């Protein structure tokens, strides 16, 4: 639901969002810890931003994740929740985000997790 301070925008020609199966092997690690490993990731391309891989929850090592209190809002996708990654070397804060109730235009990413490549290592091949 949108409110005056949280508009709900729909992707279109001026701000396209394309979601498709990635059709590659995506592995996410932090140090020696594998956080995710899948061939079922989705590739989300939003406007001119770099593509983002969204990993299905079944492919995630949940023992390495800790939910944080961080929330952000995207007018095209909705509210994102965040997780930090715990490794023997320490905690990588807010390295992972997910849309648990995304807007209908991006419903395919519901519950999938995405990763900041500057905080964890994302290998896609």
Backbone angles phi, psi at 32, to 5 degrees: -90, 5
Instruction: Tell whether pTM > 0.85.
Output: yes
Of the chain, the percentage scoring pLDDT greater than 70 comes to 97
For residue 109, pLDDT over 80 is answered with yes
Q: Model confidence at 5, in pLDDT bands (50, 70, 90)? A: confident
Please name the residue that has the structure tokens 């999938």. Answer: 112
State the distance between the two ends of the chain, measured CA to CA, in whole angstroms: 37
């Amino acid at each position: 639901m949108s409110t005056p301070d949280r508009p709900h925008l729909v992707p279109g020609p001026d701000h396209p969002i394309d979601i498709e199966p990635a059709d590659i092997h995506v592995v996410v690690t932090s140090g020696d810890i594998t956080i995710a490993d899948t061939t079922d990731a989705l590739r989300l391309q939003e406007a001119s931003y770099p593509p983002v891989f969204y990993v299905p929850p079944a492919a995630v090592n949940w023992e390495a994740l800790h939910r944080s209190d961080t929330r952000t809002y995207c007018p095209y996708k909705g509210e994102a929740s965040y997780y930090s990654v715990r490794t023997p070397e320490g905690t990588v804060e807010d390295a992972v985000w997910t849309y648990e109730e995304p807007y209908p235009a991006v419903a395919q990413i519901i519950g999938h997790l995405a990763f900041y490549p500057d905080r964890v290592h994302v290998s896609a091949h």
